[in-house]
Amino acid sequence: MANYRTLFISDVHLGTRSAQAGLLLDFLKHNDAETIYLVGDIIDFWRIRRGVIWPQSHSDVLQKLLRKVSKGTRVVFIPGNHDEAMRQYCGMQFGGIEIERQTIHATADGRRYLITHGDDFDVVVRYAKWLAFLGDRGYEFALWTNRPLNFIRRRFGFGYWSFSAHLKLRVKTAVNFVGEFEKSLSAEAKRRDVDGVICGHIHHAASSQFDGVHYVNTGDWVESCTAIGENKDGTFELIRWLDVVDARERETQAQLNKELQFA
């Protein structure tokens, strides 16, 4: 069990087929923290409106978080645009989970970070919500194509490759959007006179410096399965859980092979 001072998780999108709830549950079983921030889009109400997709693993994630609260972990939920219905409950608690629109986090070494989902700095979400819904459907289709594509790749001995991630990072307008998003969040942090900002929303994990501001994005639990951990000394690390799981499986397979040699 790894113990962090703080964990930051966002963009789980429970209620969709694309949510990697099983991997997140595995992550929560192997990692603990004094405080866990859920930085938005934990439950995808946009998708739920079109029909409920809720396997047991999605309930298990919520139950695991509630169990952590009961054992003393502070859990703070910052609603995003996909679970914006929860914003009307900001300032309240449900099952011990605190709900806040935004907040400031102080690290162990005294730095201050703005915690926000980030959709307020997405011009599409703010000014053309219908286009955001349309883009969401397109992204959902791109995610769906990942499954048959990677089934074929595995048959030929190739590793996992994400068509949807490729589209996001290779299309010029998407690259420009990510850059502008990062700069906008960093500018807001500077305006608020804090040392950094931790957000989600764009499903692109990052840790960068912009004009003296530390920009941190948690990534997502749809494709990359990433989180941000604050260590006891206040330093941050990007946790790529797929890499951890792959290393664990390789180690298990190596141990099995070793045992077979001596059988």
Distance CA 63, CA 213 (A): 36
Residue 253 confidence (pLDDT) above 70: yes
How far apart, in Å, are the Cα atoms of 140 and each of 84, 124, 165? 19, 17, 12
Q: Which domains does the chain have, with CATH numbers?
A: 2-261 (3.60.21.10)
SS3 41: coil
Under the banding of pLDDT at 50, 70 and 90, the label for residue 107 is very high
Q: How many residues are given for the chain?
A: 263
For helices 21-30 and 56-70, the axis angle rounded to 10 degrees is: 20
Residue 46's pLDDT is 85
User: Which residue, among 208, 228, 210, has the nearest Cα to 218 in the 3D structure?
Assistant: 228
Residue 261 confidence (pLDDT) above 80: no
Average pLDDT over residues 59-71: 97
Under the banding of pLDDT at 50, 70 and 90, the label for residue 124 is very low
Mean pLDDT of the chain: 85
Residue 159's pLDDT is 61
Residue 50's pLDDT is 78
Contact 9, 19 (CB under 8 A): no
Distance CA 44, CA 51 (A): 11
Residue 47 confidence (pLDDT) above 90: no
**Tens of pLDDT, residues 130-189:** 334 434 555 555 555 656 655 565 666 666 556 555 555 554 455 456 778 898 999 999
Query: What radius of gyration, in Å, describes the C-alpha atoms of the chain?
Result: 19
Distance CA 73, CA 97 (A): 10
Residue 28 confidence (pLDDT) above 90: yes
Average pLDDT over residues 115-140: 59
Among the ranges given (45-49, 55-59, 92-96, 120-124), the one the predictor scored with the smallest mean pLDDT: 120-124
Residues 6 or more apart in contact with residue 190 via CB below 8 angstroms:
211, 212, 213
Average pLDDT over residues 34-46: 96
Among the ranges given (36-50, 52-66, 129-143), the one the predictor scored with the smallest mean pLDDT: 129-143
Answering whether pTM is above 0.85, one says: no
For helices 163-170 and 172-191, the axis angle rounded to 10 degrees is: 70
Residue 145's pLDDT is 61
Could you tell me which residue, 176 or 194, shows the higher pLDDT?
194
Under the banding of pLDDT at 50, 70 and 90, the label for residue 122 is confident
Residue 249's pLDDT is 87
Residue 1's pLDDT is 87
- 77: which DSSP letter? E
**Tens of pLDDT, residues 205-241:** 999 999 899 999 999 999 899 999 999 999 999 999 9
Under the banding of pLDDT at 50, 70 and 90, the label for residue 129 is very low
